[in-house]
């Protein structure tokens, strides 16, 4: 048949099978090709090219988690945390908000596309995460972005062949996220930017979305009944995004630019907003039986997965698919990952009403197939069947227990003389990991839609500083809110994958509590190197175990997630990067607490214990020390302090709060001072008997720095166990005293160093 080819695999040798996979960029191993060969021997025929492409999509690491799922099932899927609504197996997690509403959470990676086309790759990452939330029937409310690049000043002559400079990637990614999110009208309220030479060969772009849905209007990513009609709505199908998931399931190399650029999708933000409106309207009117977005694997995955999830089969007519250009082969139509597309399943009697609504919103929509009881997926082209596969074998075909190797690092402290703190403190504030992210944050609209109560930057106008979490008010008639934060410290997870991952969970908890919210749910985006290398997979195993330990101890479930493997190039693998998105419940947004100091004369207290835990810290990185003890997590201590701090906040005893994380006490207190444009008189003698630099730069977990209302200090002390470490001053200076140390810094000079880091 014209445009469709039979691939002769029935009598092919192992070498021939591998060559077929390589020549067609299928990403299938010999082992997988042999299984497919066995399947078609039972069918009594050779496959068509489109059928082989279908297996390549469904069996890719990106689509089916064939390596990670067994490990996830032993760890992050086994959190003891009761939730009335918690859907982890679909496109996004759905979690209770109140009696009538649920919030929806999704977090995804768009790493490889962004490494080749930073602007388009990042933009389509935002588009994809919006669709993940919409297909649950939810209105998107907020976006997050967690970004990881090589140093912006990395020497040109050291950039590996085929790799773009970090500065180019950084600027392109930020622009792509800003332009897409701003055009669609969804605020970007949380994120992080991290720079390390480990990301030179493979940047990371992790995007998240939070939405809100009425509980009686939650949509499902599956078909309803036999006879339902498949309606394909939104953008047209083209050659962009061909082999997107197989591209994401392989290492980058110097030929990726030329070979894989067609795998990068092209975003179309102007189509997205009316598409969202139309999808939500047909769902609100109860006209759908199911809805799913076109993500990885395109039509191949969306049509197959919806039918399989509903226990049904389906038939698709490829001639009805709207195309961007003439001449697309059937297999290209089947696997294209062109953006802004949604698939709906609709009862026959509702088809006309659905099409009318999409026409009203000026969004193209067309019937492309129907649901049946065959439990097979079939595709027709020009009157003939070109694909006919058993869905159970297609969807559940690949799962591995790969060999892994855990390398335990001996942790030890080094003896060294304390450096000149007058020099090291400005240097830390000017470092790329600590310095102000305002130049990035201001590219995003974080207040569109009018729901944002606390923004990413907090404090006086033109003096604002980093906050711990953003707070949004999702419902017009309720003061109940959501706190949102994104966290991971690759310095810690790279130093010790287990405790680094556990620390990421603990930091989420601290950041959510810091704004007066109760930690409620987590989403993860687990970014690692090649899982076929035992040491890389060992890092993944240890991170998952650390995530499980901490999340299970705090009783916070992972409600959604993503695994991104093969983040590796000729320059090596990235650091283990388990990015987290945390959501907390704010009982009353009017009592949300920001990070900026409020008034001279108020006392400042440190909650939590400070220990000599500097392994992976920013202080040791600047000193060039690859040693130290990694920060540990003690959930019981943290939960006790968390409860008392939240009680103090509800009693309005706390004026400002900031958690201690990267950079330790020094960074927390200076950021609070920057935001309030006030000074601090700090006395560290009440802290444990440690050297001054350890007190200032330790990154021990479980700590908050709080400003207390001076008139309510005694009441605060009766509620919270904490050490008084300072006083807010009207003089714009940071003064630090310890047993043998006296330091004074002009606030404006420290701010200048902090602001000029990026």
Return the domain boundaries, the chain.
85-218+419-560+574-758
Query: 61-97: string of b/e by CB count within 10 Å (b at 16+)?
Result: bbbbbbbbeebbeebbbebebebebbbbebbbbbbbb
Which stretch of 30-34, 113-117, 224-228, 472-476 has the lowest confidence by average pLDDT?
113-117
Give the per-residue pLDDT at 664: 97
The structure tokens 């591209």 sit at 247
Angstrom distance (rounded) from CA 221 to CA 566: 27
* 329-351 average pLDDT score: 93
Kindly report, residue by residue over 583-599, the tens digit of the pLDDT. 999 999 999 999 999 99
The answer to whether 559 touches 95, Cβ cutoff 8 Å, is: yes
Kindly report, residue by residue over 473-505, the tens digit of the pLDDT. 999 999 999 999 999 999 999 999 999 999 999
Give the per-residue pLDDT at 414: 82
Give the per-residue pLDDT at 249: 43
Give the per-residue pLDDT at 82: 67
The answer to whether 254 touches 160, Cβ cutoff 8 Å, is: yes
- Residue 754 token pair: 């902090």
Kindly report, residue by residue over 725-755, the tens digit of the pLDDT. 999 999 999 999 998 899 999 999 999 999 9
CATH number of 85-218+419-560+574-758, picked from 2.60.40.1220, 3.30.1330.10, 1.10.274.10, 1.10.340.30: 3.30.1330.10
Angstrom distance (rounded) from CA 519 to CA 95: 13
Give the per-residue pLDDT at 267: 64
Confidence of residue 247 (pLDDT cuts 50, 70, 90): very low
Q: Give ∠ CA 617-618-621 in degrees, rounded to 5.
A: 90
User: Given 110, 243, 308, 446, which residue is catalytic?
Assistant: 110
* 400-405 average pLDDT score: 91
The answer to whether 365 touches 359, Cβ cutoff 8 Å, is: yes
The structure tokens 């588009």 sit at 127
Angstrom distance (rounded) from CA 92 to CA 69: 17
* 364-390 average pLDDT score: 96
- Residue 467 token pair: 């906050």
First to last CA, the chain: 57
In the sheet with 577-586, reading across from the earlier edge strand, the strands are 452-454, 470-472, 481-487, 577-586, 518-527, 558-564
Angstrom distance (rounded) from CA 636 to CA 559: 23
- Residue 575 token pair: 């650091």
Kindly report, residue by residue over 47-99, the tens digit of the pLDDT. 999 999 999 989 988 788 889 999 999 999 999 876 555 655 578 999 999 99
CA dihedral 549, 92, 390, 401 (to 10 degrees): -20
**What is the overall mean pLDDT for the chain?**
92
Dihedral of alpha carbons 365, 371, 375, 378, sign: negative
Crossing angle for the helix pair 664-676 and 747-755, to the nearest 10 degrees: 100
Confidence of residue 248 (pLDDT cuts 50, 70, 90): very low
CA distances for 276 relative to 109, 136, 273, 593, 682, angstroms: 21, 11, 5, 33, 51
Percent of the chain beyond pLDDT 90?
Answer: 80
Angstrom distance (rounded) from CA 487 to CA 657: 17
Judge whether residue 557 has pLDDT over 90: yes
Listed residue (244, 248, 241) closest to 111, CA to CA: 248
Reported as half-sphere exposure (CB side, CA atoms, 13 A), residue 212 has a value of 17
The answer to whether 505 touches 547, Cβ cutoff 8 Å, is: yes
Kindly report, residue by residue over 420-475, the tens digit of the pLDDT. 999 999 999 999 999 999 999 999 988 888 899 999 999 999 999 999 999 999 99
- Residue 711 token pair: 């008139």
Judge whether residue 370 has pLDDT over 50: yes
62 is catalytic: yes
DSSP assignment of 117-135 equals: SHHHHHHHHHHHHHHHHHT
Q: Which element (helix H / strand E) includes 16? A: helix 14-23
Reported as half-sphere exposure (CB side, CA atoms, 13 A), residue 380 has a value of 12
Confidence of residue 295 (pLDDT cuts 50, 70, 90): confident
- Residue 640 token pair: 């006790």
Note the helical H segments in 163-316. 166-184, 244-247, 256-260, 269-284, 298-309
Give the per-residue pLDDT at 409: 81
Select the highest-mean-pLDDT range: 3-17, 244-258, 710-724.
710-724
The answer to whether 629 touches 411, Cβ cutoff 8 Å, is: yes
- The pTM assigned to this predicted structure is 0.94
Angstrom distance (rounded) from CA 156 to CA 165: 7
Give the per-residue pLDDT at 162: 81
Angstrom distance (rounded) from CA 581 to CA 567: 20
Judge whether residue 250 has pLDDT over 90: no
How far is residue 299 CA from its own chain's centroid?
Answer: 24
Judge whether residue 168 has pLDDT over 90: yes
* 153-174 average pLDDT score: 92
Angstrom distance (rounded) from CA 509 to CA 491: 19
Give the per-residue pLDDT at 367: 98
Length of the chain: 758
Judge whether residue 263 has pLDDT over 90: no
Crossing angle for the helix pair 166-184 and 118-134, to the nearest 10 degrees: 40
User: Given 62, 112, 243, 548, which residue is catalytic?
Assistant: 62
- Residue 167 token pair: 């500065």
DSSP assignment of 677-697 equals: T-EEEEEGGGS-S--HHHHHH
Judge whether residue 374 has pLDDT over 50: yes
Listed residue (103, 85, 173, 90) closest to 140, CA to CA: 103
Percent of the chain beyond pLDDT 70?
Answer: 95
The answer to whether 108 touches 525, Cβ cutoff 8 Å, is: yes
C-beta atoms surrounding 619 within 10 Å: 24
The structure tokens 């810290």 sit at 617
Judge whether residue 579 has pLDDT over 90: yes
Listed residue (320, 334, 340) closest to 51, CA to CA: 334
Task: Decide the pairing of beta strands 341-346 and 229-234.
Answer: antiparallel
Give the per-residue pLDDT at 257: 53
Judge whether residue 306 has pLDDT over 80: yes
Judge whether residue 243 has pLDDT over 70: no
Kindly report, residue by residue over 621-653, the tens digit of the pLDDT. 999 998 999 999 999 999 999 999 999 999 999
The answer to whether 512 touches 585, Cβ cutoff 8 Å, is: no
Kindly report, residue by residue over 279-293, the tens digit of the pLDDT. 999 999 999 999 999
C-beta atoms surrounding 370 within 10 Å: 18
How far is residue 107 CA from its own chain's centroid?
Answer: 4
Judge whether residue 665 has pLDDT over 90: yes
- Residue 103 token pair: 């919030």
Contacts of 548 (CB under 8 A, 6+ apart): 75, 76, 78, 79
Angstrom distance (rounded) from CA 354 to CA 297: 25
Angstrom distance (rounded) from CA 716 to CA 707: 10
How far is residue 185 CA from its own chain's centroid?
Answer: 20
The answer to whether 317 touches 368, Cβ cutoff 8 Å, is: yes
By the 10 Å C-beta count (0-12 exposed, 13-18 middle, 19+ buried), 342 is classed as buried
382: left (phi over 0), alpha (psi -120 to 50) or beta: left
Give the per-residue pLDDT at 398: 79
Give the per-residue pLDDT at 64: 83
Contacts of 571 (CB under 8 A, 6+ apart): 160, 163, 200, 201
The answer to whether 500 touches 543, Cβ cutoff 8 Å, is: yes
243: left (phi over 0), alpha (psi -120 to 50) or beta: left
110 is catalytic: yes
Give the per-residue pLDDT at 259: 46
């Amino acid at each position: 048949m014209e445009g469709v080819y039979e691939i002769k695999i029935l009598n092919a040798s192992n070498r021939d099978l591998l060559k077929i996979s390589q020549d067609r960029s299928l990403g299938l191993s010999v082992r997988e090709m042999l299984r497919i060969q066995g399947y078609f021997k039972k069918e009594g025929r050779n496959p068509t090219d489109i059928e082989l492409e279908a297996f390549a999509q469904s069996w890719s690491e990106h689509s089916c988690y064939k390596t990670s799922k067994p490990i996830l099932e032993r760890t992050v899927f086994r959190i003891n945390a009761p939730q009335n609504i918690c859907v982890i197996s679909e496109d996004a997690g759905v979690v209770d908000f109140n009696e009538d509403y649920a919030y929806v959470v999704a977090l995804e990676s768009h790493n490889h596309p962004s490494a080749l086309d930073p602007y388009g790759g990042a933009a389509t990452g935002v588009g994809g995460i919006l669709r993940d939330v919409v297909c649950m029937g939810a209105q998107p409310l907020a976006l997050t972005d967690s970004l990881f690049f090589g140093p912006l000043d990395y020497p040109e002559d050291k950039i590996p062949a085929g790799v773009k400079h970090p500065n180019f990637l950084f600027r392109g990614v930020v622009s792509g996220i800003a332009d897409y999110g701003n055009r669609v009208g969804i605020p970007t309220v949380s994120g992080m930017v991290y720079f390390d030479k480990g990301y030179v060969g493979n940047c990371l772009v992790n995007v998240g979305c939070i939405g809100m849905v009425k509980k009686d209007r939650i949509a499902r990513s599956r078909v309803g009944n036999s006879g339902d009609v498949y309606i394909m709505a939104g953008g047209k199908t083209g050659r962009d995004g061909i082999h997107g998931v197989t591209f994401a399931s392989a290492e980058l190399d110097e030929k990726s630019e030329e070979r894989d650029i067609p795998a990068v999708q092209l975003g179309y933000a102007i189509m997205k907003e009316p598409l969202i409106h139309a999808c939500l309207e047909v769902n609100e009117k109860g006209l759908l039986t199911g809805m799913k977005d076109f993500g990885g694997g395109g039509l191949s995955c969306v049509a197959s997965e919806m039918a399989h999830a509903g226990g049904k089969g389906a038939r698709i007519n490829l001639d009805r698919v709207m195309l961007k250009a003439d001449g697309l082969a059937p297999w290209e139509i089947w696997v294209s990952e062109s953006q802004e597309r949604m698939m709906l399943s609709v009862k026959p009697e509702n088809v006309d009403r659905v099409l009318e609504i999409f026409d009203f919103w000026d969004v193209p929509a067309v019937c492309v197939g129907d649901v049946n009881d065959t439990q097979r997926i079939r595709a027709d082209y020009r009157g003939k069947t070109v694909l006919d596969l058993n869905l159970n074998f297609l969807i559940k075909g690949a799962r591995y227990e790969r060999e892994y190797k855990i390398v335990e690092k001996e942790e030890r402290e080094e003896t060294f003389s304390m450096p000149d703190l007058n020099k090291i403190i400005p240097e830390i504030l000017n470092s790329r990991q600590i310095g102000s992210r305002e130049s990035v944050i201001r590219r995003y609209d974080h207040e569109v839609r009018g729901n944002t109560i606390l923004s990413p930057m907090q404090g006086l106008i033109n003096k604002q500083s980093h906050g711990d979490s953003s707070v949004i008010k999702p419902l017009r008639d309720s003061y109940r809110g959501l706190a949102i934060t994104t966290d991971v410290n690759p310095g810690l997870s790279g130093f010790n994958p287990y405790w680094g991952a556990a620390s990421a969970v603990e930091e989420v908890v601290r950041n959510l509590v810091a704004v007066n919210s109760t930690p409620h749910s987590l989403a993860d985006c687990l970014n690692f190197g090649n899982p076929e290398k035992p040491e890389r997979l060992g890092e993944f195993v240890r991170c998952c175990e650390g995530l499980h330990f901490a999340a299970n101890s705090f009783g916070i479930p992972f409600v959604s997630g993503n695994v991104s493997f093969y983040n590796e190039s000729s320059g090596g693998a990235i650091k283990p990067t388990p990015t987290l998105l945390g959501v907390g419940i704010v009982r009353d947004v009017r009592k949300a607490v920001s990070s900026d100091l409020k008034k001279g004369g108020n006392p400042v207290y440190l909650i939590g214990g400070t220990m000599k835990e500097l392994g992976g810290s920013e202080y040791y990185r600047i000193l060039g020390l690859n040693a130290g003890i990694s920060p540990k997590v003690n959930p019981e201590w943290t939960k006790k302090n968390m409860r008392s701090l939240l009680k103090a906040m509800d009693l309005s005893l706390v004026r400002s709060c900031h958690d201690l994380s990267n950079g330790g006490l020094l960074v927390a207190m200076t950021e609070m001072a920057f935001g309030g444009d006030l000074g601090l008189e700090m006395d560290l003698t009440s802290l444990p008997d440690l050297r001054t630099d350890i007190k200032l730069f330790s990154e021990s977990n479980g700590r908050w720095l709080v400003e207390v209302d001076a008139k309510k200090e005694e009441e605060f002390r009766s509620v919270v166990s904490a050490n008084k470490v300072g006083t807010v001053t009207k003089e714009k200076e940071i003064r630090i005293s310890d047993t043998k140390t006296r330091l004074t810094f002009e606030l404006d000079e420290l701010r200048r160093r902090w602001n000029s880091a990026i």
